[in-house]
């Protein structure tokens, strides 16, 4: 009797993935409860004993709790990131809106933040099927990283175009900057979850970015020289 092992293996893989998600969800849930109790207890102590604010390391406790809350939030996102809400989206308007939201911050830091696109994108990207909220998150992550890597006088540029690849025509979103280059010893691990080279970072921003793009059947690449760092997102048309 013929046995379709491919379907059996696919089912097993999906079961393992679902089990891992459930375990992660339980882990996150169990972390939230004691963290909330610790946070509430510290707030109560501070309310009843104002003098604790004068203790040398008291303020660091709140900062550490905030870091843990961010970590749990990012871990929760990482667990559910492949669940997409696909709808037709005007990518031109979406990217411009994200750029506009970060323009005041860029201006304050004396950095140039711009967006441009090729003419052929007008028709191809006016109604593109994607999860708009998650694509916004991707662009926000990349722009925030670029703002951290650049100095006054530097630029950050987003470019939307259509390019030819071995797989056919692909939609390309580039996020380039001329700030500090990524060190050679970091480049191979920047997309790995929980790996960070920034003080206070969770190491999940680029990992989330990569998973979101891959869940859209695309990929993300990084390239760099001494004068330019670029993240290129390729999405199917």
Q: What is the CATH number of the domain that holds 188?
A: 3.30.565.10
Q: What is the domain range of residue 65? A: 5-80
Whether 169 and 111 map to the same domain: the answer is yes
| pLDDT above 70 (res 60) | yes
Whether 161 and 230 map to the same domain: the answer is yes
Whether 113 and 129 map to the same domain: the answer is yes
Of 37-41, 117-121, 139-143, 157-161, minimum mean pLDDT range: 37-41
Q: Which SS3 state, helix, strand or coil, does residue 195 take? A: coil
Choose one of 62, 80, 98: the last residue of a domain: 80
Q: How many domains does the chain divide into?
A: 2
235 token code pair? 């999405």
pTM of the full structure: 0.68
Across the chain, mean pLDDT equals 81
Whether 117 and 146 map to the same domain: the answer is yes
- Top mean pLDDT of 32-41, 62-71, 137-146 is at 137-146
| pLDDT above 50 (res 2) | no
Find the mean pLDDT for residues 36-54: 85
Whether 32 and 143 map to the same domain: the answer is no
| pLDDT above 60 (res 6) | no
pLDDT tens digits for range 150-184? 999 999 999 999 988 887 889 999 999 998 888 77
Of 48-52, 59-63, 66-70, minimum mean pLDDT range: 66-70
Helix ranges (H only) for the chain are 5-48, 58-80, 91-108, 121-124, 132-149, 205-215
119 token code pair? 């003419």
pLDDT tens digits for range 188-213? 778 776 566 555 555 678 888 998 99
What pLDDT, on the 0 to 100 scale, is given for residue 123? 83
Whether 97 and 188 map to the same domain: the answer is yes
Whether 70 and 98 map to the same domain: the answer is no
Whether 114 and 143 map to the same domain: the answer is yes
What's the N-to-C CA distance of the chain in angstroms? Answer: 41
Distance CA 79, CA 3 (A): 33
Choose one of 80, 103, 128: the last residue of a domain: 80
Whether 74 and 29 map to the same domain: the answer is yes
pLDDT tens digits for range 116-128? 999 888 888 889 9
- Top mean pLDDT of 33-42, 63-72, 132-141 is at 132-141
Whether 130 and 50 map to the same domain: the answer is no
Choose one of 22, 46, 80: the last residue of a domain: 80
What pLDDT, on the 0 to 100 scale, is given for residue 24? 61
Whether 191 and 227 map to the same domain: the answer is yes
Q: Which SS3 state, helix, strand or coil, does residue 186 take? A: coil
Whether 134 and 228 map to the same domain: the answer is yes
């Amino acid at each position: 009797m013929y046995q379709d092992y491919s379907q059996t293996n696919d089912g097993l893989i999906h079961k393992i993935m679902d089990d891992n998600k459930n375990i992660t969800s339980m882990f996150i849930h169990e972390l939230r409860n004691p963290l909330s109790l610790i946070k509430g207890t510290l707030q109560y102590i501070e309310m009843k004993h104002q003098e604790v604010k004068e203790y040398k390391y008291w303020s660091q406790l709140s900062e550490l709790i905030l870091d843990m809350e961010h970590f749990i939030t990012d871990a929760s996102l990482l667990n559910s990131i492949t669940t997409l809400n696909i709808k037709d989206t005007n990518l031109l308007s979406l990217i411009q809106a994200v750029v506009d939201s970060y323009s005041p911050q860029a201006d304050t830091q004396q950095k140039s933040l711009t967006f441009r696109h090729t003419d052929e994108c007008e028709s191809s990207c006016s109604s593109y099927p994607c999860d708009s909220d998650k694509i916004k998150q991707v662009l926000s992550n990349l722009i925030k990283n670029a703002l951290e890597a650049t100095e006054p006088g530097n630029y950050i540029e987003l470019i939307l175009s259509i390019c030819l690849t071995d797989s056919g025509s692909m939609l390309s979103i580039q996020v380039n900057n001329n700030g500090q280059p990524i060190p050679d010893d970091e480049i191979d691990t920047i997309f790995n979850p929980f790996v960070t080279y920034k003080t206070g970072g969770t190491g999940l921003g680029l990992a989330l970015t990569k998973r979101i793009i891959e869940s859209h059947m695309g990929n993300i690449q990084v390239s760099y020289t001494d004068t330019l760092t670029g993240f290129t997102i390729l999405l199917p048309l």
